[in-house]
Amino acid sequence: MMLQSHSMSDLAGFLESQLADCGNHWSLGTFGALAEFTRDVVEPTEMRRDDDTVAVTTPRGGIRLEAVPELRPFASESTTRENWSHRVALCLPAEGCVMNRRVVLTELGPDVQALRERDRDAVLFDLGLDAVQVDACIRVADPELAAKLRACVGRPVFETGNPAMSLIVPASPHRVFISRLGRIEVFQPIPPPHGTSPEGPHTHVLPRLLGAGRTHPATEPVPERYVPCAHLYPAHPIKDALGRVRPFDGRRHDVFQGMLRRFGDPAALRLKQEVITLIERGGAPSDIAIPNDRFARTNVRVAIRQMRVLGGPLPSLAAWAEALDHVRADADADDAEPHHAN
C-alpha cells in the first residue's frame, strides 16, 4: 500500500497534540533495542515546539521528534492473548532511515544535541549494536567512567571478556537512543541483570532479539519499503500503562479508531467494517471471504474482541468468536513483543 503524505505542519501538530497527552506512551529503537518514554500527570514537564520539532522533558527522561518530509505515520492493531494492542508507527522509507550501524563501542564526543543544556558537555558512546534505524548510545558525565570506557572502544560490547557492560550497568549513565526522527533520553537507573524495568522512561537491550536482524516484530504490519523509526502508543481503552485491565473508556477507543481512519491501511479498515456490519446484521462467518494471511486474520479477531467489549445484544457474536477467535496463546498473539503493553 502507498502511505499518504501529510504536510509537516499537520504532522508536527499531530506530534505536539499526542505528546501533550500524558496517557500516551512512546518508543524509539528496533527489535531488541528499545527506549521508551512515558510520564505521569503530576510529573514536572517541560514541553517545547520549534517549527516542526517537538520535545518533552521530565526529571526521568525526555523525547524529541521532528516532522521530516518523509515521515509517514501508520496506525495498526494486533491481538494479544486476551484482548488487543494498538500503535502508530512513525515510518521512514527504508533507504532513508538507516543510521550509522557501528559494530563496536565508539566514542562520539560531547552530546551537543542533548535535550537539556546541562547534559551537552557529557560524552556520548555508541554501543555499536549494528541496528538499522537507531544508534543506541550512553551519555557519560563521569570522567572516571569515560576513561575506563575508552579502554574498551573498538570492541563489541557483548564480546567475551569485554568489561564494558559491567562498567555501564552499575554506573547507570543516561541512555540516548537516536533515529532520523529524533531521540529518547532516559535518566533513570539501569535495573540489575534480573531486575525489573522502572516505571516511566527506560530501555531494553536484548542481544538474542537483536540477533534476528529485524527492524520490527513479525506481528506488526508495516507497509513494504518502510521502516518504523519510532512508535506512539495512544492510551488504551481497556488497559492502563502497565497492561492492567480497567473499565472501558469509549473516548479512548474512538480516538484511536479515528487514527486508524486517518493513518491506517484502507483495505484493513474495509475488512474490519465488513465484519462488524455482518455481525450486527446477524450474518455468519461463512458469509465473508477472509484473505489467508496473518494480518487479515488478526484484523478480524480484533473486530470481534472490540465488539465483545462494546457489548450489545448481538446473538451472532458468539458464533464468530468460536469460529475465528479462540482466545489462546498462538502464533498471531503479540505479547512477546519487547514493546509497551499497549
End of a domain among 177, 193, 226? 177
Q: Report the number of distinct structural domains present in the chain.
A: 2
End of a domain among 150, 177, 204? 177
Same domain, 223 and 196: yes
Whether 234 has a pLDDT exceeding 80, the answer reads yes
Whether 83 has a pLDDT exceeding 60, the answer reads yes
For the sheet with 135-140, list strands across it: 46-50, 53-58, 61-66, 182-186, 174-179, 135-140, 123-126, 106-110
Would you state the pLDDT for residue 218?
Answer: 93
Same domain, 165 and 186: no
Would you state the pLDDT for residue 340?
Answer: 47
Same domain, 84 and 137: no
Per residue in 236-247, pLDDT tens? 999 987 788 899
Same domain, 224 and 165: no
Q: Rounded to whole angstroms, how far apart are CA atoms 208 and 219?
A: 18
Domain extent for 223: 1-97+180-342
Axis-axis angle for helices 294-310, 317-324 (nearest 10): 150
Q: Which residue has the cell 547534559?
A: 119
Query: What's the mean per-residue pLDDT of the chain?
Result: 92
Better-scored residue on pLDDT, 330 or 317: 317
For residue 316, the tally of other CB atoms under 10 A from its CB is 16
For residue 71, the tally of other CB atoms under 10 A from its CB is 26
- Nearest partner of 158 among 214, 102, 105, judged by Cα: 105
- Sequence-separated (6 or more) residues with CB below 8 Å from residue 220: 76, 78, 87, 89, 228, 334, 337
Name residue 304's amino acid. Answer: I
Same domain, 40 and 115: no
Q: What is the pTM of this model?
A: 0.93
Q: Rounded to whole angstroms, how far apart are CA atoms 319 and 102?
A: 53
Stated as kind and residue range, the H or E segment containing 112 is: none
Same domain, 26 and 136: no
Whether 37 has a pLDDT exceeding 90, the answer reads yes
End of a domain among 144, 177, 210? 177
Same domain, 87 and 222: yes
Same domain, 151 and 203: no
- DSSP line for 134-181: -EEEEEE--HHHHHHHHTTTTS-TTSTT--HHHHHHHH-PEEEEEETT
Per residue in 128-175, pLDDT tens? 999 999 999 999 999 999 999 999 999 999 999 999 999 999 999 999
Would you state the pLDDT for residue 329?
Answer: 38
Same domain, 292 and 231: yes
Provide the pLDDT confidence category of residue 2 given band limits of 50, 70 and 90: low
Same domain, 185 and 90: yes
Same domain, 115 and 171: yes
Would you state the pLDDT for residue 1?
Answer: 67
Question: Are 104 and 128 contacting, i.e. CB atoms less than 8 angstroms apart?
Answer: yes
Same domain, 138 and 240: no
